[in-house]
Homo-oligomer: A and B are copies of this chain.
Amino acid sequence: MRTVKVGLIGLGTVGSGVVEIFQRHGEDFRRRAGVEVALTRFVDRDPECARRLGLSEASFTEDATELIENPDIDIVIELIGGTGAARELVLAALSAGKSVVTANKALMATHGQEVMEAAASSGVDIAFEASVGGGIPIISPLKHCLVSNEITSVMGIVNGTTNYMLTRMAEDGLDYHSALAEAQNKGFAEADPTADVDGHDAAAKISILASIAFNSRVVMSDVPAEGIRSLTPGDISYAAEMGYAVKLLAIASRTDSGIDIRVHPTMIPMSHPLASVNGVYNAIYVVGDAVGETMFFGEGAGSLPAASAVVGDVIEVARHIRSGCLGLVGCTCNEELPVRDIGDLETAYYLRMLVLDRPGVLASVAKVFGDHGVSLASVIQKTDDAPTAEIVYVTHRATEHAVLAALSEIEVLDVVESIGTMLRVEEF
């Protein structure tokens, strides 16, 4: 049996995990999976990373091009991330006839089509299970096990950082800033948390999932993303009083007028399977016309979980090399479904605002909602001694256009101090 040789670019968090899995189990793969796979060449900008991992000097280079041009290498693992150098390296590796395994969600969510086409024209594999949900198998189940379904929706908690923060805010009443500081202390959030807390990370992931689930390319810039910065522990406890959890959901649904796709904090019933996914865990909930409801749960980040998915892909590609069937499942984006404007979204809304505590205020706010055809399902008013009162409205189903138009009028009413949080309420 020929040994499939693998080169690894990027010895950071996930890269170290890949090295660790090969050190632990490299010898087991023949027995477990029927292939001989060896990790033989390593690239990083920092030679210290290689030393720390106990890699031989001969196996290491700072020059990624050397690895890509090395005729011994069958599979290149790209773990440097981003859409700059990573894109060039991945395209170069594919055009050099090497299969590529990557965890790069930004690349796949932005240049997915280019990368898939490059793999197809070279007759090699591109695999990217680790780009969504860390170690959770989700891309392969969608492309294989669930392929007989028309998938009607895919939605998930796909960002562990924000889910950890929301869990802490819900369980201990922490505010946004304390929750963020705690997540940073524990290593769950970056020094610059923008990509996580503003929903960009989740937007990349849901665009990848939607492209596969609906057979139609969706790119990251198609996805309206709203993060969790404006959420207060008060919002979460109002939601809980009403029987809802607040989660940062990435949602994609197939509708008659195109793909509805978005990322935002969402109120979901406590009884929904996603509501009890807490801490850094991720879960992806998939509904298909035959399978019904399914959910895939696990650790969405971290060195070894993500490396589990990367090495799983490597072994699968190695099986294809062994059996001469590279390119077994290529790009399946064969439709061109439109992406709906989020303004056309129709759902229920939670709206919190601060108003003057004075007669007639509720009536004047309610009139504006009414003028825009937005009807109210419930109102909670909490008055302290202050001259202002906090009011929480939950609307019946309305379009986002109508709700935003109403809010822009309400915002400038004399009696309204400020508009706080707006949350979509999904019953599913």
Cβ-based interface call for A141 (8 A)? yes
Stretch in A189-197, A318-326, A386-394 with 4+ CB within 8 Å of B: A318-326
A298 engages B307 (CB within 8 Å): no
Q: Are A309 and B145 in touch, CB under 8 angstroms?
A: yes
A17 interface residue (CB < 8 Å to B): yes
Contact code string A197-236 (vs B, CB < 8 Å = 1, else 0): 0000000000000000001000000000000000000000
Residue A414 at the chain B interface, CB threshold 8 Å: no
Cβ–Cβ contact A315 & B147, under 8 A: yes
Interface hub of A149, A150, A291 (most chain B Cβ within 10 A): A291
Instruction: Check if B291 sits within 8 Å of A299, measured CB to CB.
Output: yes
Smallest Cβ-Cβ distance to A309: which chain B residue: B145
Query: Is there a chain B Cβ closer than 8 Å to A186's Cβ?
Result: no
Q: Given that A147-B32, A150-B25, A324-B324 are known contacts, is A136 also in contact with B319, CB under 8 Å in the complex? A: no
In the complex, A276 has a CB within 8 A of chain B: yes
Interface assignment of A363: CB less than 8 Å from any CB of chain B:
no
Does chain B have a CB within 8 A of A241? Answer: no
CA distance A21 to B273 in the complex (A): 26
Q: Which B residue's beta carbon lies closest to that of A141?
A: B137
Most chain B C-beta atoms within 10 Å of own C-beta, residue among A137, A141, A148, A330: A148
Q: In the complex this chain forms, how many copies of it are found?
A: 2
B150 & A145 in contact (Cβ 8 Å cutoff)? no
The CA of A362 and the CA of B288, in the complex, are separated in Å by: 55
- Interface positions, chain A 110-159, Cβ under 8 Å from B, are 129, 135-137, 140-141, 144-150
Q: In the complex, are the beta carbons of B295 and A297 less than 8 A apart? A: yes
Interface size on A, residues (CB 8 A): 61
Nearest chain B CB to A295 CB, angstrom units? 4
**Chain B hits for A29, CB < 8 A:** 147-148
Q: Is the CB of A145 within 8 A of B137?
A: yes
Are A298 and B293 in contact, with the CB atoms below 8 A?
yes
Known: A146-B137, A290-B17. A298 touches B295 (CB 8 A): yes
Judged by a CB distance under 8 angstroms, whether A358 is at the interface is no
CB-defined contacts of A315 to chain B, threshold 8 Å: 144, 147-148
Q: Separation in Å of the A315 CB from the closest CB of chain B? A: 5
A29 to B148, CA, bound (A): 7
Contact of A148 (CB < 8 Å), options: B34, B292, B302, B308? B308
Q: In whole angstroms, how far apart are the Cα atoms of A328 and B334 in the complex?
A: 26
Chain B residues within an 8 Å CB radius of A312: 144-148
Q: A327 contacts which chain B residues (CB < 8 A)? A: 323
Partner of A329 from B17, B34, B137 at Cβ < 8 Å: B34
Give Cα A295–Cα B21 distance, bound, in whole angstroms. Answer: 21
Tell me if A257 is interfacial: C-beta within 8 Å of chain B.
no
Interface residues of A in 391-406 (CB under 8 A from B): none
Task: Tell me which of A24, A140, A298 has the highest count of chain B C-beta atoms within 10 A of its own C-beta.
Answer: A298
A294 at the B interface (CB under 8 A): yes
Question: Taking CB as reference atom, which chain B residue is nearest A136?
Answer: B294
In the complex, what residues of B have CB within 8 A of residue A296's CB?
294-297
Judged by a CB distance under 8 angstroms, whether A409 is at the interface is no
Taken together as a complex, chains A and B put the C-alpha atoms of A297 and B17 apart, in Å, by 27
Residues of A at under 8 Å CB distance from B? 17, 21, 24-25, 28-29, 31-34, 129, 135-137, 140-141, 144-150, 215, 273, 276, 288-299, 302, 304-305, 307-309, 311-312, 314-316, 319-320, 323-325, 327-330, 332, 334-335
